[in-house]
Amino acid sequence: MNEKILKNIRQVEPYVPGEQPQTKVIKLNTNENPYPPAPGVQKAMVQFDTDRLRLYPDPTADTLVSAIAKHYEVNKEQVFVGVGSDDVLAMCFLTFFNSEKPIFFPDITYSFYDVWAELYRIPYECQPVDENFKIRKEDYYKENGGVIFPNPNAPTAIYEELDFVEDVIAHNQDVIVIVDEAYIDFAGKSALELIDKYENLIVVQTFSKSRSMAGMRIGYAISNPTLIKYLNDAKYSFNSYTMNQPSLVYGVEAVKDQAYFEETIRKIKETREWTKKELSKLGFTFPDSQANFIFAMHPDVEALELFEALKKEGIYVRFWGSKRIEQYMRITVGTQEEMETLITFLKKYLNK
């Protein structure tokens, strides 16, 4: 193509999602919840009035925003919703990271961060995690244009306690700090406890993992009303109708059923702990997972070899082959039966 044309085209290296096989496999590569959504969601699907699809959805997503606000005991003005947490995070990058100073995030983390930074022409610096894949909070004391990090981190599954998170926020009160909590329900305390204490804090969560709603694409941010207003102003300048009608209806039902939510989390955490023990017996090493996945490597077998062997067996896990993590696979915690199948295969393969 004409070089003069190419010169003015925004070119970025895109995020590469995990494979979505169309055949029936044991799918442990994209951190989806192995259990169905809450019964109320399934009931709402059956009863949904399809005539509503000819109408635009409520641009304020008031029913869903209200349900989330009630659940977390915050005001509606403190909640922003979007099409998955990716949409919410992208809107946060666009809205809040406009300094000429670089934003900070870990060098081993969610690989969409640098994509958004490149897309929006935001300067950034990746702060290296230590030899145990842990974030070094002191690296975030330097002057910057904003901070974002997941807790638990991905793909490492390492959770940092709330005092650690608060320390990072306290050292960056002149910029926006985003804590990406996609996996917090499988871990410990949420930074939501700090929302009223720090005006620069935004906490982002999702329905995709703990609420079994990855297919509906529902994410949300909770902060103070001022920052949420700025987010909505940006959204309405971009696309007023981001949340579709079914997502609004099903999302409300997903929030309502706390008992089902807690039971699902319990099962996943129990299976995770069982899997960690079995992997350890087989010689795998991994950071202590507090998410719904395990970031594992085997000292005697190449990760790529294991990845390909598992795939041939119809068991999909995630492999990057990137610098510093080329020997690691990320294994989503599936049902107990699925994880037993994984362990059985690994036992046979490693004993060949």
Neighbouring-strand partners of residue 148: 178
Domain boundaries, the chain: 3-36+259-350, 51-257
Q: How many CB atoms lie within 10 A of CB 297?
A: 17
pLDDT of residue 5: 65
E strands in the chain: 26-27, 79-82, 103-106, 124-127, 147-150, 177-180, 201-206, 219-222, 293-296, 315-316, 318-319, 329-332
Q: Classify strands 26-27 and 315-316 as parallel, antiparallel or unpaired.
A: parallel
Q: Is the separation of the CB atoms in 349 and 306 below 8 Å?
A: yes
**DSSP β-ladder status, 177-180 and 147-150:** parallel
Report the pLDDT averaged over residues 163-171: 98
Cβ neighbours of residue 177 closer than 8 Å, sequence gap 6 or more: 146, 147, 148, 168, 169, 198, 200, 201, 202
Domain at 51-257: CATH architecture? 3-Layer(aba) Sandwich (3.40)
Helix or strand (DSSP H, E) at 225: helix 225-238
pLDDT digits (tens, 9 = 90+) for 105-124: 999 999 999 999 999 999 99
Region 294-299: mean pLDDT is 97
pLDDT tens column, 212-242 = 999 999 999 999 999 999 999 999 998 888 8
Q: How confident is the model at residue 211 (pLDDT cuts 50, 70, 90)?
A: very high
What does the pLDDT look like over 33-60, one tens digit per residue? 999 999 999 999 999 999 999 999 999 9
> Whole-angstrom distance between the N-terminal and C-terminal Cα of the chain?
52
295 SS3 class: strand
CB atoms within 10 A of CB 270: 12
* Contact (CB, 8 A) for 94 and 244: no
What is the dotted CATH code of the domain comprising 3-36+259-350?
Answer: 3.90.1150.10
| Dihedral angle, C-alpha 319, 325, 326, 329, nearest 10 ° | -30
Tokens of 147: 């901070």
Q: Are 342 and 315 in contact (CB under 8 A)?
A: yes
3-36+259-350 matches 51-257 in fold: no
Nearest alpha-carbon partner for 244 in 221, 219, 217, 222: 217
pLDDT at 22: 66
* Mean model confidence pLDDT for the chain: 95
